[in-house]
A and B are shown apart, each in its own frame.
Chain A
Amino acid sequence: MIAPGPATRLDMGVPVTFSCEGSRLFGSLHVPEGPRSNVGIILMNQGPIDRTGSHRLYVKLAARLTALGVPVLRFDARGVGESEGRWAVDSISVLEAYGNIQRGAWVPDATAAIEYMRRTAGVDRIVLGGLCGGPCTAIFAGAAHPAVDGIFVIGAPVTFSAATQRVSDLPDAIIKEHAGRYVRKLLQPSSWKRFFSFETDYRTLLTVFTSAIRRRLGRAAGADRTAETDANINVPMIDAIRTAGRKGKRLLFVFGGNDFLWHEFQEQLPRFGNNPARLPFELVTIPEANHILTEESWQQILFGSVTTWLTRGLAETRRRLA
Chain B
Amino acid sequence: MFAPTLVNGREEAIRIASDSGDLYGMLHHPSAAARGAVLLCPADGEERAWCLRTYVELARTLADSGWWVLRFDYAGQGESAGLYEESSIETRVHDIALALAALRAQSGDPAPAIVAARLGAALALEAAARDPRIVRVALLEPVLDGSAYARNLLRINLTMQMVMYEKVMRNGEQLLEDLAAGGRVSANGYNLTRQFLDGLEALRPAERLKAFQGRALVIATAATRVPESPADVRRPAFAPFWREPKADMTPPKLVIAETVSWLDAAPTQENARMS
Which residues of A line the B interface, CB within 8 A? 6, 8-10, 12, 15, 21-24, 26, 28, 48-50, 52, 54-57, 78-82, 84-88, 90-94, 97, 100, 105, 181, 184, 258, 288, 290, 292-296
Q: Taking A54-B49, A81-B53, A296-B186 as contacts, is the C-beta distance between A12 and B22 under 8 angstroms? A: yes
With a cutoff of 8 Å between Cβ atoms, the chain B residues found around residue A24 in the complex are 7
Partner of B245, one of A9, A48, A50: A48
Confirm or deny: B150 has a beta carbon within 8 angstroms of a beta carbon on chain A: no
CB atoms of A296 and B191 under 8 A apart: yes
Confirm or deny: B181 has a beta carbon within 8 angstroms of a beta carbon on chain A: no
CB atoms of A294 and B160 under 8 A apart: yes
With a cutoff of 8 Å between Cβ atoms, the chain B residues found around residue A86 in the complex are 2-3, 5, 250
Can you name 28 A-B pairs with beta carbons within 8 Å? A6-B15, A8-B21, A8-B82, A9-B82, A9-B83, A10-B82, A10-B83, A12-B24, A21-B2, A21-B4, A49-B49, A55-B84, A55-B189, A80-B53, A81-B53, A85-B2, A85-B4, A85-B5, A86-B5, A87-B2, A88-B2, A93-B245, A93-B247, A93-B248, A94-B245, A97-B249, A100-B1, A293-B189
Known: A23-B4, A94-B249. 18 other contacts (CB 8 A): A6-B21, A9-B83, A10-B82, A12-B22, A23-B5, A26-B13, A48-B50, A50-B78, A56-B78, A56-B84, A78-B2, A84-B4, A91-B250, A92-B250, A94-B245, A181-B166, A288-B164, A294-B189
With a cutoff of 8 Å between Cβ atoms, the chain B residues found around residue A80 in the complex are 53
Confirm or deny: B81 has a beta carbon within 8 angstroms of a beta carbon on chain A: yes
With a cutoff of 8 Å between Cβ atoms, the chain B residues found around residue A9 in the complex are 21, 81-83
Confirm or deny: B77 has a beta carbon within 8 angstroms of a beta carbon on chain A: yes
A-contact bits for B19-49, CB 8 A (1 contact / 0 none): 0011010100000000000000000011001
CB A241 to nearest CB in B, in angstroms, measures 23
| Smallest Cβ-Cβ distance to B80: which chain A residue | A12
CB atoms of B250 and A258 under 8 A apart: no
Q: Taking A8-B82, A21-B2, A258-B164 as contacts, is the C-beta distance between A48 and B190 under 8 angstroms? A: no
Q: Taking A9-B81, A82-B26 as contacts, is the C-beta distance between A290 and B2 under 8 angstroms? A: no
Question: Size range of the interface on B?
Answer: 35 or more
With a cutoff of 8 Å between Cβ atoms, the chain A residues found around residue B160 in the complex are 290, 294
CB B42 to nearest CB in A, in angstroms, measures 11
Q: Taking A10-B81, A57-B189, A94-B244 as contacts, is the C-beta distance between A88 and B1 under 8 angstroms? A: yes
Partner of A84, one of B5, B46, B50: B5
CB A147 to nearest CB in B, in angstroms, measures 24
The 9 A-B residue pairs whose C-beta atoms are closest, nearest first, are A55-B189, A15-B13, A8-B81, A294-B189, A88-B3, A8-B21, A91-B248, A78-B2, A94-B245
| Smallest Cβ-Cβ distance to A15: which chain B residue | B13
With a cutoff of 8 Å between Cβ atoms, the chain B residues found around residue A293 in the complex are 189
CB atoms of B22 and A56 under 8 A apart: no
CB atoms of B186 and A295 under 8 A apart: yes
Which B residues between 59 and 108 are near A, CB-CB below 8 angstroms? 77-84
Partner of B22, one of A6, A50, A54: A6
Q: How far is the CA of A10 from the CA of B84 in the complex (A)?
A: 11
Confirm or deny: B256 has a beta carbon within 8 angstroms of a beta carbon on chain A: no
Q: How far is the CA of A57 from the CA of B191 in the complex (A)?
A: 12
Confirm or deny: B153 has a beta carbon within 8 angstroms of a beta carbon on chain A: no
CB atoms of A50 and B49 under 8 A apart: yes
| Smallest Cβ-Cβ distance to B166: which chain A residue | A181
CB B237 to nearest CB in A, in angstroms, measures 14
With a cutoff of 8 Å between Cβ atoms, the chain A residues found around residue B245 in the complex are 48, 93-94
With a cutoff of 8 Å between Cβ atoms, the chain B residues found around residue A56 in the complex are 77-78, 84, 189
A-contact bits for B176-198, CB 8 A (1 contact / 0 none): 00000000101011110000000
Q: Taking A8-B22, A296-B186 as contacts, is the C-beta distance between A55 and B56 under 8 angstroms? A: no
Partner of A93, one of B50, B83, B184, B249: B249
Q: Taking A21-B2, A82-B26 as contacts, is the C-beta distance between A92 and B49 under 8 angstroms? A: no
CB atoms of B56 and A81 under 8 A apart: yes
Partner of B249, one of A12, A90, A92, A292: A92
Confirm or deny: B260 has a beta carbon within 8 angstroms of a beta carbon on chain A: no
Q: How far is the CA of A290 from the CA of B160 in the complex (A)?
A: 9
Task: Tell me which of B46, B81, B83 has the highest count of chain A C-beta atoms within 10 A of its own C-beta.
Answer: B81
With a cutoff of 8 Å between Cβ atoms, the chain A residues found around residue B82 in the complex are 8-10
CB atoms of A54 and B53 under 8 A apart: no
CB B76 to nearest CB in A, in angstroms, measures 8
Q: How far is the CA of A167 from the CA of B249 in the complex (A)?
A: 22
Q: How far is the CA of A54 from the CA of B187 in the complex (A)?
A: 11
With a cutoff of 8 Å between Cβ atoms, the chain B residues found around residue A288 in the complex are 164-165
With a cutoff of 8 Å between Cβ atoms, the chain A residues found around residue B52 in the complex are 50, 81-82
Confirm or deny: B272 has a beta carbon within 8 angstroms of a beta carbon on chain A: no
Task: Tell me which of B3, B24, B77, B165 has the highest count of chain A C-beta atoms within 10 A of its own C-beta.
Answer: B3
